[in-house]
Structure 1
Amino acid sequence: MDGLLNTNKPKGITSYDVIRFIKKNFHFKGKIGHSGTLDPAATGVLLVCLGKATKLSSLLMAQEKEYEATLKLGIRTDTLDEKGKILSRIDKISITEEATKKVLFSFIGEIKQVPPLVSALKYQGRRMYEIAREGKDVPRKARRIIIKEIKIKEIKIPFISFRVVCSKGTYVRALCRDIGEQLGCGAFQSNLIRKRIGPFLLKDALTLERLKERGLSSSLIPISEVLNFIKNKVEQARPLQ
């Protein structure tokens, strides 16, 4: 069985838990993997590749992504989200809406971002989150990413909600951290929803319950459709080269 599943990962489980769910409920024994990890606290689009579609995983991971995020100002945590240990706290925050907008919009474009320690990136063959669990730190190089768009949805200090369209390799947790540092008070990511990976939208994504009801074969997006999308993206990019 070959194809792509557009799933809506619920809060509180890992991305690999979704794969375990598929293996267990559909007795699937073929090749399977996901195209881009979502943190346990995050929800939204998680693409799962089955069979021959696993060969397309890297191409899918390279697509631009869209998120809705909320950050909370005044608190720094070691994981950059609400699950982490609080490192510092500022109870009184005096920041204007104008200053907030200026800082957020300053991140649009090509920037360098230091990834979180608690991440699936590898250091000397080990996942960095495994090293973090041991209370250790590792050197992390800033990586080039592109923030294509930021749209502020609501500013209600200490919370800021915004939409962001970004390139592969972007950590929204790290973006929230950096926004907080630029504002001089620190911040952590309090909520994250992945709305889109390339053309695959959250509104079309299946919850695990819905996937179980529909069945695996009727829920798969054929490889031909995925290949057509990739072909169209390449053709659109040619005039720009």
Structure 2
Amino acid sequence: MKLTGVVSIYKPKGLTSHDVVNEVRRLTGERRVGHAGTLDPLASGVLVVGIGREATRKLKEIVGQEKEYLAKIRLGMTSTTDDEEGEKTKLSNYRTIELANIQSVLKNFVGTVEQVPPVYSAVKIKGKEAYKLARKGKVVELRPRQVVIKSIDLVDYSWPFLTIKVVTGPGVYIRSLARDIGEKLYTGGYLTSLKRTRVGRFTLTDCVPIETLAKKLDSSGKI
């Protein structure tokens, strides 16, 4: 009997979401496995995985549910990828930003906002992923999209690092948010770490590490 169901897996930093899906396939023997929203390799946290035909159908609904993130931003520098992986540029004209200024700027990003995806993303341009074009040195221009950011809470600030908790609708790039916050502060900024703490009703406390998934499966073959 093949194992089926929807499970929240803790994706560690360094693995792709597809790596996790492949490992679940190996563990369960089920080829029909998918996930409800990609996490970048540098990100960690909640990855909701569906195993089997019925479970993968449920993922379409889960993808559209709100998500919660804990994000750390480095101000005073920019990155070609809007995160730690890219080539960094230190800005010479920035200044230390007061806390009140940061709180004011964060409010501008709550609600329905226009957001340009990162150049190094899987967004397709004429059928080709933007990141593949960027790696070839081609100029990539992506159109802004309307996305919904439900709340941004300031968790910690000690120049040049800013930590925020963000609740979003679907389709939001936290890398883009980090970049845009830096631009609004006139300091530049990029994402240094990201943890997804919730997808819909699935939270970090519900997660199982990929290596212990087999122990969560009961004898009926259901998760």
Match of 1:37 in 2: 38
Q: Is the 8 A contact 1:76 1:186 kept in 2?
A: yes
The answer to whether structure 1 residue 164 and structure 2 residue 153 are counterparts is no
* Cα distance in 2, alignment partners of residues 92 and 154 from structure 1: 20
2:38 partner letter: T
- Residues 219-230 of structure 1 correspond to what in structure 2 (within 5 A)? 221=223
1:36 partner letter: G
Q: Is the 8 A contact 1:119 1:129 kept in 2?
A: yes
* Secondary structure of residue in 1 paired with 2:208: coil
* Secondary structure of residue in 2 paired with 1:194: strand
Q: Is the 8 A contact 1:41 1:191 kept in 2?
A: yes
Higher helix share: 1
Match of 1:233 in 2: none
Q: 1:127 aligns with which of 119, 126, 129?
A: 129
Q: 2:84 aligns with which of 67, 82, 85?
A: 82
Q: 1:116 aligns with which of 113, 118, 122?
A: 118
* Cα distance in 2, alignment partners of residues 198 and 47 from structure 1: 10
* Cα distance in 1, alignment partners of residues 193 and 123 from structure 2: 21
Deviates further, 120-129 or 33-42:
120-129
Change (3 A) 1:94 1:180: same
1:35 partner letter: A
- Residues 73-222 of structure 1 correspond to what in structure 2 (within 5 A)? 73-90=75-92, 93-215=95-217, 221=223
Using the TM superposition, give the Cα deviation of residue 180 of structure 1 relative to its aligned residue in structure 2, in angstroms.
0.2
Using the TM superposition, give the Cα deviation of residue 218 of structure 1 relative to its aligned residue in structure 2, in angstroms.
7.5
Q: Is the 8 A contact 1:78 1:85 kept in 2?
A: yes
Using the TM superposition, give the Cα deviation of residue 88 of structure 1 relative to its aligned residue in structure 2, in angstroms.
4.1
* Cα distance in 1, alignment partners of residues 33 and 120 from structure 2: 24
* Cα distance in 1, alignment partners of residues 218 and 134 from structure 2: 36
* Cα distance in 1, alignment partners of residues 142 and 218 from structure 2: 40
Aligned length: 220
* Cα distance in 1, alignment partners of residues 214 and 73 from structure 2: 33
Query: Structure 1 stretches (4+) deviating beyond 3 angstroms?
Result: 87-92, 212-221
Q: Is the 8 A contact 2:99 2:157 kept in 1?
A: yes
TM-score, with structure 1 as normaliser: 0.85
Using the TM superposition, give the Cα deviation of residue 220 of structure 1 relative to its aligned residue in structure 2, in angstroms.
5.3
Using the TM superposition, give the Cα deviation of residue 93 of structure 1 relative to its aligned residue in structure 2, in angstroms.
2.7
Q: Which runs of 5+ in 2 are unaligned?
A: none
* Cα distance in 1, alignment partners of residues 138 and 32 from structure 2: 34
Query: What are the superposed Cα offsets for residues 160-219 of structure 1, whole Å, 9 maximum, x if unpaired?
Result: 101010110000110000000000010000110001111111111111122144348789
* Cα distance in 1, alignment partners of residues 85 and 204 from structure 2: 24
Q: Which runs of 5+ in 1 are unaligned?
A: 222-241
Change (3 A) 1:62 1:157: same
Change (3 A) 1:217 1:68: farther
Q: Is the 8 A contact 1:75 1:90 kept in 2?
A: no
Percent identity for Structure 1 against Structure 2: 39
* Secondary structure of residue in 2 paired with 1:119: coil
TM-score, with structure 2 as normaliser: 0.92
